[in-house]
């Protein structure tokens, strides 16, 4: 039996990878991009905020010495996601991997009880987290079905599996993405398409320094409840995503894999 020691040479070289992030900060999309580039994949990274992509491109150049073309656009503009996906397909001939990372970083400093959240705030969370996952998945699935292969990986949150005060709508949206992904896995397996989630706890990200005192105090309490007693690093998340996208992850589908230091133990 062949021995596998690294991700390299296990199916990521020259694979066409689309990374779509929104409202999640720069740490995870940047680390995802760098990880896939190191594995010699062909990476298309997009975000609705040009300033995020500028940071991602700058970090890729700093750490890998590579020039990265990024693709900022409004995901909610009708037809924009489909047009982008078709542009990638026309250029590359295929799309092998879709990774989505949709968060709501701007809500972290302003967490509040459910009864004080407005319907507009509900709609915003559901739109950014759940509806965008639908839009991106629908855009790539026909391509993956045609080529009889593909990987779909949505990044979710352990907030979907534990009761988290002030994050009820966010938690519901992330749980919905996990349920959606399980159904996709059952539906698309016959086409050699896997669909999985990577579920995060609390990440070691710079943006935490900009949160309120109350939010920081809450995060510190959460840290003490994590068996490993620390927050995750972006590269720990990126490596799990890359593993699922590689040939080594070809028999894993319909899973919501926790990368959260034991925060949840199902």
Q: Per-domain residue ranges for the chain?
A: 16-203+233-258
CATH 3.40.1020.10 for the 16-203+233-258 domain, yes or no: no
> Any catalytic annotation for residue 170?
yes
Written as six digits, the tokens of 162 are 């534990």
Q: Is 93 exposed, middle or buried (0-12, 13-18, 19+ CB in 10 A)?
A: exposed
pLDDT of residue 1: 35
Ranges in the chain, pLDDT < 70: 1-9, 105-110, 203-216, 218-219, 227-230, 232, 260-263, 266
- pTM (global) more than 0.95: no
Question: What pLDDT shows up at residue 162?
Answer: 84
pLDDT for residue 11: 83
Query: Across the chain, what does the average pLDDT equal?
Result: 87
Q: Which of 63, 71, 170, 251 is an active site residue?
A: 170
Q: What is the pLDDT of residue 3?
A: 41
């Amino acid at each position: 039996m062949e021995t596998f020691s690294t991700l390299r040479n296990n199916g990521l070289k020259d694979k066409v990878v689309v990374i779509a992030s929104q409202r999640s900060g720069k740490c995870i999309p940047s680390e995802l991009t760098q990880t896939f580039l190191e594995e010699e994949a062909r990476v298309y990274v997009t975000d609705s905020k040009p300033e995020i992509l500028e940071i991602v491109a700058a970090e890729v150049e700093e750490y890998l010495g590579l020039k990265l073309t990024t693709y900022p656009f409004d995901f909610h503009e009708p037809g924009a996601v489909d047009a982008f996906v078709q542009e990638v397909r026309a250029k590359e001939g295929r799309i092998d991997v879709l990774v989505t990372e949709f968060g709501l970083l701007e809500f972290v400093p302003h967490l509040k009880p459910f009864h004080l959240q407005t319907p507009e705030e509900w709609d915003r969370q559901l739109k950014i987290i759940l509806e965008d996952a639908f839009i991106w998945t629908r855009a790539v699935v026909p391509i993956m079905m045609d080529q009889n292969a593909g990987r779909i990986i949505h990044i979710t949150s352990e907030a979907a599996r534990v009761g988290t005060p002030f994050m009820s709508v966010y938690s519901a949206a992330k749980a919905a993405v996990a349920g959606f992904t399980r159904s996709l896995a059952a539906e698309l397996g016959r086409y050699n398409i896997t669909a999985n989630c990577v579920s995060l706890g609390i990440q070691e990200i710079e943006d935490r320094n900009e949160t309120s005192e109350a939010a920081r105090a809450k995060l510190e309490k959460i840290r003490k409840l994590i068996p490993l007693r620390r927050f995750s690093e972006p590269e720990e998340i990126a490596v799990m995503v890359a593993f699922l996208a590689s040939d080594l992850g070809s028999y894993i589908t319909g899973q919501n894999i926790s990368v959260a230091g034991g925060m949840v133990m199902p």
